[in-house]
Chains A and B, each alone.
Chain A
């Protein structure tokens, strides 16, 4: 007995054996079927090994048997909270390959939808991460206001989540006659809501204690692990594709790329909150200036890409999304690779969660904003 006790006590500290705990696949804070194999010593996290693939749907393999317009419909099943950005990425890639210039009106509509989608995604993120950390009230506030955005989507394109609004050469239908009025009303209303969220959570002392200084990701690590989006920018990694490789109507507008310095969970939180304000600012610049014209150019009934390789990057709500199409000149792609932001972001968690308590792991995961179908594809 004495030997056993001696084994666990070194110096003044009492040491226990390491043990493994499965977090997920059915766990509320993993937001989907993600399984983390956590190696713990007491409450201290020693290692996190993500096991993914529970919702792997083989989208990349499926695309090889589909035509290009059909591929678009699969992309919004990946990161369903950034559905429109994913659709747009494939459309832009096809348009660049065929050297089709889309009308200005399409660019504006797409960009407004991008930003509305980003707002909707960040909305769900902030209220759900509040819930992860034990603040249930936030969840109702977030979902209530997200509903307004989904109603605007529904009116114009008939869908609330998987929009399928972008098609090669333009958008599927013109915007609803009420679209501009409703968006303006929403922006006006939503501006007053953000201080409310800040009061609810950002300024909350319990929330700050849970997140400040927790899970620090340095800028070097963010680049090395390919952590993009608001998560990477909170560490100071300037990676906003909208700024560095502008597409659609982003070259025409003025906006700031928000950059953080600390790289901790609180900074990731604050940065997304700031991004929501910036998104409103972008929508305000565009909504009154949508040019008149066609909502798309006529494309051939069967779209065939020229032989070659095409790569398109867009900024989704979670980070850099890339579409890599290899075409052999036929009507279906030879190979499509989707570079999903969540995939790269997820594997940085092990690096930063070491040494923190298991409750802090929840805070880190919440501020990483993971969407599992985006990781598994």
Chain B
């Protein structure tokens, strides 16, 4: 599908969510309640068949945390960016997609480690790079009082 067709298809199937053309790829922001069902559909729908999770990244915004999924279909060759926001910054949580794409398990470990987003139904959520004494370094309000020298 071309980008326009993809956006049209998604806006028809999910009228409550916002689908638009980004700088390069079509983007859709999905509410966290339907995230898992939406992703399941992205992979199983034969017109879409997004079977390759290219990249999963966490982003810190002032009011919430966001997880961005870059999806590609190896059969149809189209690309989609899916975003989902957490409810707040204090107890951020989203549903895990690791049962849909196994690679997500480790990307989610990384996001949990660096941003502190909890993933529900994740098989084995653990800190990947850092140990328990660290906070969540990729958050904007993170302050490292051991390694940063104030001038």
Residues in A lying within 8 Å of B, measured CB to CB: 52-53, 56, 58, 60-61, 96-97, 223-226, 237-239, 244, 308-311, 313, 320, 322, 324, 326, 334-335, 337, 339, 343-344, 347, 351, 376
Q: Mark B81-115, 1 if CB is under 8 A from A, else 0.
A: 10000000000000000000111011100100010
Contact of B70 with A by CB under 8 A: yes
Nearest Cβ on chain B to A39's Cβ, whole angstroms: 14
User: A306: nearest residue on chain B (CB-CB)?
Assistant: B23
Q: Are A324 and B57 neighbours in the complex by a CB distance under 8 Å?
A: yes
Pull 10 A–B residue pairs with CB atoms less than 8 Å apart, ordered by A. A56-B130, A61-B142, A223-B74, A238-B74, A311-B70, A313-B54, A334-B59, A335-B60, A343-B110, A344-B106
List the B residue with the shortest CB-CB distance to A238: B74
A contact patch SS: mixed
Residue among A53, A313, A339 making CB contact with B128, cutoff 8 Å: A53
Q: Which residue of A lies closest to B113 (CB)?
A: A53
A223 to B114, CA, bound (A): 26
B5 contacts the other chain (CB 8 A): no
A339, B129: Cβ atoms closer than 8 Å: no
Inter-subunit contact A326/B59 (CB<8 Å) = yes
The answer to whether B22 touches A344 (Cβ under 8 A) is no
User: Is the Cβ of B51 less than 8 Å from the Cβ of A53?
Assistant: no
Determine which of A58, A322, A335, A343 lies in contact with B70 in the assembled complex, contact meaning CB atoms within 8 Å.
A322
* Distance between Cα atoms of A313 and B72 in the complex (Å): 12
In the complex, the number of residue pairs spanning A and B with C-beta atoms less than 8 Å apart equals: 79
Would you call B129 and A226 a contact (CB within 8 A)?
no
Q: How far is the CB of A63 from chain B (nearest CB, A)?
A: 11
Chain A residues closer than 8 Å to B22, beta-carbon distance:
308-309
Residue of A whose beta carbon sits closest to that of B83: A309
Q: Enumerate chain B residues within 8 angstroms of A376, measured Cβ to Cβ.
A: 129
Is B46's beta carbon under 8 Å from chain A? no
Q: Which residues on B sit within 8 Å (CB–CB) of A237?
A: 74
Q: Does B133 touch A at the CB level, under 8 Å?
A: no
CB-CB < 8 A to A335: which residues of B? 57, 59-60, 138
CB distance B59 to A225 under 8 Å?
no
User: Are the CB atoms of A339 and B54 closer together than 8 Å?
Assistant: yes
Cβ contact of A224, chosen from B70, B103, B110, B142, cutoff 8 A: B103
Q: Are B103 and A310 in contact (CB under 8 A)?
A: no
Contact A244 B77 (CB under 8 A): yes
Chain A CB within 8 A of B39 CB = no
Instruction: Indicate whether A223 sits within 8 Å of B70 (C-beta atoms), given known contacts A56-B130, A309-B23, A344-B103.
Output: no
In the complex, the answer to whether B128 meets A347 with C-beta atoms within 8 Å is no
- Tell whether A337 pairs with B130 under 8 Å between CB atoms, given A61-B138, A324-B70: no
| B residues less than 8 Å from A347 (CB atoms) | 102-103, 105-106
Beyond A61-B114, A61-B142, 7 additional pairs, beta carbon < 8 A: A56-B130, A239-B74, A310-B23, A334-B59, A335-B138, A337-B55, A343-B110
Distance in angstroms between the alpha carbons of A96 and B77 in the assembled complex: 21
Q: A97, A238, A343 — which one has the most chain B CB atoms within 10 A of its CB?
A: A343
- List the A residue with the shortest CB-CB distance to B139: A61
